[in-house]
Structure 1
């Protein structure tokens, strides 16, 4: 959205340009700051100033407002871009929305997915020195609105790009449900010949503390400069701008609401770290690139539920979910426990044909249903131990497995088999 005619004329009279310092007075309040670009999401009567503390503020301008030019910004010498040294490899960027592709509405303070994949890449010119980029938008939504159909679209489009010759795919994605999407892609895409790297940001792209830039550049470097080929999540390794951590897509969880290093690998070391200066260090085994094709298996059984057990959980309240779902993943206490009355209801559901998988809400460690009576009763009832899978990974995996087979023994076998790195062979002593 462009400026209103009134503001456009005002800025023209002031001969104000982006980068100039303005004073804006509305009544008794005065704001002094650097004039920032007016992006397409800004309302027509709002101008954006960057204050001396580094933060941006949106100010409504009316005919009663007083706007003064304080100083002109330093003239920037236009230097020709240095000769690019791209690897010549093509990386596909498939935009899905989220904070990484967002702007702030400075009228309300709300964040909206408004930046296209092309604009996002254009804001990171260094990425073109690393690879040739083909960017497009699949959809522009926040990750809480992601669903199975979105996962299937991402998987199919990523497979098409890789089979067409892309060295890998970067998926800009909202952070809140990134772990679900990365797990879904890991199972759908199988033995990938080229990597798929999901990246996000905890700060929107127009904020001074945004982590979008470094995460995107690091993902491009990782795809082009390594032989790793799985579904990964790449996010800041610490709160500072020093390095990014590369997590296996089935072992990663968002562990903080807002920190830039919110993502952690659970029951597994990070696969690699990417120094923001360009260095890459590996810390775990990984699948290597190949010249084969990828065949996306995107079928998913959507009639699956994820329940967290809590003290006093009423069997009658959850009976319908347990009996009418094709599959249920339960996040139990400790080694994988529920109360004895819930155990009886679960037993009845399993006998009725519902596949039930037990994980632990402790997250770290492995379920073990052999230690206590409740666990042994659940094993006798046919409950499938979730090993050390994250509850959300087990949930996505069960959806995928139930779409591949209806045989109870095969379902149990597949759920207990490490297919995409979701189950650790041994406990990580660093936990």
Structure 2
């Protein structure tokens, strides 16, 4: 007879020919989900499990947050990321913590780096991020800067972190570091990267940096984190701890671990270079379209009425010639069109082949070496702040926050 278990029950289960200890989490699709002592979850038939004991609720101990006047004062703005998460061994679940005392309990090394104020802005999966939330985030960060924070940490899910980092790069002029950080693997996994990423992010937030950046593992080892400019970074792997890469440029710095030594590149913007300013207007009626062979021009009709459209073309920046009449129609109707490349490295040049020249004649602008997602966010910001079409076109091709370069360096 199948036994009934309650979340948090300690159980023995037969798996792989061995008896293993674990915590019963839930029943899913007729299988019992059990968290093993190693931290990994397995699915076994309920009959393979035997009850051991019922675990009492985990105590939720709060402690006073120590304030050290010799340390910097940082703000942590959370959007649902996992700068600190803790396992409830009663249920086997992982919860993100937004209270400063919870963060220091989970990652006590942070107390050696700074004092913290925490602002829980949102609790969302990063695929649910929107331009409206970018605006709320920029305003919250700006308020913390004006309130005296010497650095800001933004915790964020990794899937769309590059979009949000680019958005704040354009929406804020900052004299202090604004550091985005996330975790590829949750705290219940032995290979979690959350603690090291958070420690490195706090170290950069107290450094001499003065711009928006993403700080994440640089390798699969726990040796150092890379500091990526907010407009030049991309998530390049679904699950590796070193998923984030600077594209077209080198990272703007590194953080050694466990020494926490921050090294900034000569091109990194320094603390205090800019005066704080908020430019939070956004035009959300912009799109990003990736060209593929055989794409029908009818797809472009969905973008009629849009203020702008970023195209991720092939190679030097091409689409099939069959799309050009509809692209010309969009441009003549007032939609700003900018071409980027799916190649990610290198730059668009539509003057080499006939197709490129025809695209230019149709009203498509070259996007240089901008990343498609950074170009999309930039277009939303530009069109939200500049209504003159010619001026907006000029801004799209100008380097505003390190998102494009005049030339591509060899090997990048």
TM tier, smaller: 0.7 to 0.9
Deviations, residues 1-25 of structure 1 (Å, cap 9, x unaligned): xxx99999x9xxxxxxxxxxx8725
Structural mapping, 1:43-54, within 5 Å:
48-51=35-38
Contact in 2 for aligned 1:101/1:204 (Cα 8 Å): no
Give the one of 326, 347, 351 matched to 1:366.
347
Distance in 2 of aligned mates of 1:419 and 1:168: 22
Are 2:24 and 1:24 aligned? no
Give the one of 369, 382, 396 matched to 1:388.
369
Aligned to 1:319: 301
Distance in 1 of aligned mates of 2:6 and 2:315: 64
Are 2:277 and 1:295 aligned? yes
Contact in 2 for aligned 1:95/1:173 (Cα 8 Å): yes
Aligned to 1:73: none
Aligned to 1:427: 408
Q: Secondary structure at the match of 1:342?
A: helix
Aligned to 2:138: 155
Are 2:150 and 1:167 aligned? yes
Aligned to 2:186: 204
Contact in 1 for aligned 2:142/2:276 (Cα 8 Å): yes
Distance in 1 of aligned mates of 2:136 and 2:369: 29
Contact in 1 for aligned 2:33/2:42 (Cα 8 Å): no
Contact in 2 for aligned 1:99/1:112 (Cα 8 Å): no
Contact in 2 for aligned 1:48/1:59 (Cα 8 Å): no
Are 2:114 and 1:131 aligned? yes
Are 2:137 and 1:143 aligned? no
Please list every run of 5 or more consecutive structure 2 residues that lacks an aligned counterpart in the other structure: 55-65
Aligned to 1:16: none
Structural mapping, 1:37-116, within 5 Å:
48-51=35-38, 55=40, 65-67=50-52, 87-98=70-81, 114-116=96-98
Alpha carbons of structure 1 residues 380 and 55: separation in structure 2 relative to 1, 3 Å? same
Are 2:397 and 1:416 aligned? yes
Alpha carbons of structure 1 residues 121 and 380: separation in structure 2 relative to 1, 3 Å? farther
What TM-score does the superposition give when structure 1 sets the normalisation length? 0.81
Aligned to 2:170: 187
Contact in 1 for aligned 2:231/2:401 (Cα 8 Å): yes
Q: Which moved more, 1:247-256 or 1:197-206?
A: 197-206
User: CA offset at residue 140 of structure 1?
Assistant: 1.0
Alpha carbons of structure 1 residues 292 and 331: separation in structure 2 relative to 1, 3 Å? closer
Distance in 2 of aligned mates of 1:255 and 1:272: 19
Alpha carbons of structure 1 residues 345 and 48: separation in structure 2 relative to 1, 3 Å? closer
Aligned to 1:78: none
Distance in 1 of aligned mates of 2:44 and 2:112: 37
Q: Which moved more, 1:153-162 or 1:42-51?
A: 42-51
Contact in 1 for aligned 2:179/2:212 (Cα 8 Å): yes
Distance in 1 of aligned mates of 2:330 and 2:7: 65
Give the one of 185, 196, 202 matched to 1:220.
202
User: CA offset at residue 88 of structure 1?
Assistant: 2.0
Q: Which moved more, 1:371-380 or 1:355-364?
A: 371-380
Distance in 2 of aligned mates of 1:284 and 1:143: 32
Distance in 1 of aligned mates of 2:261 and 2:160: 29
Contact in 1 for aligned 2:14/2:20 (Cα 8 Å): no
Contact in 1 for aligned 2:5/2:51 (Cα 8 Å): no
Alpha carbons of structure 1 residues 67 and 290: separation in structure 2 relative to 1, 3 Å? same
Are 2:218 and 1:237 aligned? yes
Q: Which moved more, 1:209-218 or 1:131-140?
A: 131-140
User: CA offset at residue 287 of structure 1?
Assistant: 1.4
Number of equivalenced pairs: 391
Are 2:334 and 1:353 aligned? yes
For the aligned residues, what is the CA RMSD?
3.4
Give the one of 295, 310, 314 matched to 1:333.
314
Distance in 2 of aligned mates of 1:291 and 1:374: 43
Contact in 1 for aligned 2:225/2:256 (Cα 8 Å): yes
Say which structure is richer in strand: 2
Distance in 1 of aligned mates of 2:85 and 2:326: 45
Distance in 2 of aligned mates of 1:263 and 1:27: 36
Contact in 1 for aligned 2:209/2:264 (Cα 8 Å): no
Deviations, residues 10-46 of structure 1 (Å, cap 9, x unaligned): 9xxxxxxxxxxx872579987444x78x9xxx67999
What TM-score does the superposition give when structure 2 sets the normalisation length? 0.85
Q: Secondary structure at the match of 2:391?
A: helix
Distance in 2 of aligned mates of 1:281 and 1:291: 18
Aligned to 1:79: none
User: CA offset at residue 380 of structure 1?
Assistant: 2.2
